[in-house]
Amino acid sequence: MIYRFADFELDTTRQELRCKGEPVNIEPLALDLLKLLIDNHDRMVSKDEINSVLWNDRAVSDAALSTCVKSARSAVEDSGAKQEKIKTVHGRGLRWVAPFEKRTEAAVAEMPAGPAPENDDRPMTDAAQRPSIAILKFDAIGDDPVARTLGEAIPHELIAAVARLRWISVIARGSSFRFASRDSDLQDIRTQLGVRYVLSGIVEKFIDQVIINVVLTETLDGQVIWADRIKTSIEEVHDVRETIIAEVIFAIEVQIPLSEASRAQLQSPENIDVWTTYHLGLQSLYRFDAAENEVAMAMFKKAVAMEPGFARAHAALSFAHFKTAFMNYSDNRAFAVNAARRAAERAIEIDPMDPFANFNMGRSLWLTGDLDGAKTWLHRSTSLSPNFAQGLYARAWTETLTGSSSHGMRLADEARGLSPLDPLLYAMLGTRSLSLSIEGHDKEAALWAERAARAPGAHSLIRVIAMFTNELAGNEQEAAHWAERVHAEQQPITQEHFFRSFPFADQAVRKRISEALKRRGVE
């Protein structure tokens, strides 16, 4: 949806404010406030409602709201004196008063990358561009109207969902729907649309059953990198529609980066460009090892040197610095903390609507103990991309440490459901374990901690969780096993290190864990 007023456009799908076609630099909360007010232009929006939407019902001062309103007004060239767009209803709330026009589906229609002119025979330069995808209309087998409707409705919603992932370009429906899922030639799609990936599908209906097949394919060599087949009853078709959208977003977020990294490894070093450099860094980023982290950091530094405006490379660099501080890889933790914050701020400055940038901004605040500030940015990351599993996990971790363990557990479960093979799966499992431990369910907490510690990529701090949860549960053998693993680490883990990385707000919880750690020799 796009709202047009004066010289401005508020694009709610792309989460962007533009003035005369150019993006306006605006704080994320101020953008959310504009959207809330325009969406509810026919009424006053109370201060309580603003607090609920923008701050998730957390207690914030009137000064925080005033600052947000001032920022929103400044962004649209309004002021408290003029109140031409945002009117204050004294002591009660705000109301949008400026006339505007509304246009639907504009954000999708205006997404970049369309067919090249027919007389343009210049070779494609895939490696120099960010990944791009065409989502084709799903073919309906037979003449059933339900199948035909789903064949258009699902890919249409997928285009809108993928358009929110700002690191990948998605072709507009008007171009991609010109190609059939079954009979189109991949090379023809690649040539005409300039895309590296194609998502296609087939819908079949048999009496009261619907079967949907979805395939994600590389256009370069026709390799299938992900596929799924879903069967459901016609009554549950809307639930399946949501499942397909979630699974496709997961596949794009995980499988395409893996594909890009594999392609990068096949290139000689002198031909590695910005995007492939970034993806080579990602391969090392999710391995919690000091040497691998150095490799990742070097790649991201190279990527931002080659392309200073590449927001995701700055965000990934923040992630690498975060790991240095979180895992205690360096004696100079303060440097890593500041570097993580600076890189995240730079990513936000370049692209404030990138969920990954907002995610890393929130995580950088973990390192300073500002968990309330982290919540704002992490909530922002999942508002921009509701299916962003790592953002949901990070919110789960933050909620758990600040005392909302039940909420944290729900978010962790949602993250696992969206991304069951996520590189941070062990962290999602570990967060669930911590939530159960805080609530006093020691036996169950220990079981989930075991799963977390045995999951691929689990690092030393996860093994500490397995150690103390088993200790609290009275599992002597398991606690001894994980204690042996923890004490065998190259870099000894202390309570100072653990509680600096896991700053529990509840002192009683912290004391209980501390005593369990002491009993297992962690001082």
Task: Please identify which residue in the block is written with the tokens 């990385």.
Answer: 501
Tell me which residue of 174, 165, 190 sits closest to 256, measured CA to CA. 165
User: Residue 59: what pLDDT?
Assistant: 64
More confident call, 106 vs 68? 68
267-372 and 387-523: same fold?
A: yes
Q: In a 3-state reduction of DSSP, which class is residue 44? A: coil
How far is 468 from 454, CA to CA, in rounded Å?
15
Residue of higher predicted confidence among 295 and 184: 295
Which three-class secondary structure state does DSSP give residue 521?
coil
Using DSSP, state whether 413 is helix, strand or coil. helix
Encoding tokens for residue 381? Answer: 């990351």
> What does the pLDDT look like over 262-312, one tens digit per residue?
666 666 555 557 777 888 888 888 887 889 999 999 999 998 998 888 888
CB atoms inside a 10 Å sphere around CB 454: 13
User: Given a cut of 60, is residue 134 above it in pLDDT?
Assistant: yes
DSSP 439: T
CA dist 518 and 498 (Å) reads 12
Please determine, for residue 433, whether its predicted confidence score (pLDDT) is greater than 50.
yes
Number of residues that this document lists for the chain: 523
Query: Which CATH number applies to 267-372?
Result: 1.25.40.10
At residue 122 the predicted structure's pLDDT band, cuts being 50, 70 and 90, is very low
- Residue 104 pLDDT exceeds 80: no
> Residue 31: CB partners within 8 Å, gap ≥ 6?
10, 15, 17, 72, 75, 352
With contact defined as beta carbons under 8 Å apart, do 376 and 405 qualify? Answer: no
DSSP 505: S
Strand arrangement of the beta sheet that strand 86-89 belongs to:
45-46, 93-96, 86-89
How does residue 50 score in pLDDT terms, banded at 50, 70 and 90?
confident
In the predicted structure, residue 198 carries a pLDDT above the cut 80: yes
Output the pLDDT for position 476: 94
Report yes or no: 310 and 274 within 8 Å, Cβ to Cβ.
yes
Q: Identify the band that residue 67 occupies on the pLDDT scale cut at 50, 70 and 90.
A: confident
Higher pLDDT, 46 or 238: 46
Average pLDDT over residues 177-204: 84
For residue 387, give the DSSP letter. T
Q: Which residue has the higher pLDDT, 475 or 258?
A: 475
Higher pLDDT, 243 or 355: 355
Percent of the chain whose pLDDT exceeds 70 = 90
Three-class SS of 123-172: CCCHHHCCCEEEECECEECCCCHHHHHHHHHHHHHHHHHHCCCCCCEECC
Token reading at 323: 């790991």
Asked if pLDDT for residue 116 goes beyond 50, the answer is no
- Tell me the C-alpha distance between 363 and 357, whole Å: 10
List the chain domain ranges: 2-103, 111-240, 267-372, 387-523
Higher pLDDT, 185 or 314: 314
Q: What is the 3-state secondary structure (H, E, C) of 316-339?
A: HHHHHHHHHHHCCCCCCHHHHHHH
Q: What share of the chain in percent tops pLDDT 90?
A: 35
111-240 has which CATH code?
3.40.50.10610
The pLDDT score that the predictor gives to residue 269 is 55
Which CATH homologous superfamily contains domain 387-523? Tetratricopeptide repeat domain (1.25.40.10)
Model pLDDT, residue 126: 35
Residue 114 — very low, low, confident or very high, per pLDDT cuts 50/70/90?
A: very low
Identity of the amino acid at 87: K
Per-residue pLDDT, averaged over 344-362, amounts to 90
pLDDT greater than 60 at residue 2: yes
Is the confidence at residue 157, as pLDDT, over 90?
no
pLDDT in tens, 471-523: 999 999 999 999 999 999 877 889 999 999 999 999 999 999 999 999 999 98
Please give the CATH architecture assigned to the domain spanning 2-103.
Orthogonal Bundle (1.10)
CA–CA gap between residue 519 and residue 433 (Å, rounded): 20
